[in-house]
Structure 1
């Protein structure tokens, strides 16, 4: 990839992050679905499990539990 292609990719990722932050709940759900993301909140542990299937030909998803604190 050229330097310009990498810069464009980075800028588009930043724009996507801003888009998701500013979207209303219905739009966020649609964005997450389009990206193949699944977020599951466990209120007992106060954690969100984020899963994303990186291989469109594989039914197995990957996930990483993360803690949620404050305004996140």
Structure 2
């Protein structure tokens, strides 16, 4: 059966889940197919860049905190 929900573009949370899963290499085939058939590449590129920036800044913050607490 053709579910009308399958023809809608992915929501923000579905895109975020897909970007995070792809970043860690655990993206499912079903989600990848949905993303390529109904999503816009520009949205995924922007979300991927933002995810990478937030991830890098988080790592930087953790390292800075650890170094500060270690008294180095």
Instruction: Output the TM-score relative to the length of structure 2.
Output: 0.31
Instruction: Say which structure, 1 or 2, has more relative contact order (CA 8 Å, 6+ apart).
Output: 2
Query: Would you tell me which structure has more helix in proportion to its own residues?
Result: 2
Higher Cα Rg: structure 1 or 2?
A: 2
Instruction: Output the TM-score relative to the length of structure 1.
Output: 0.31
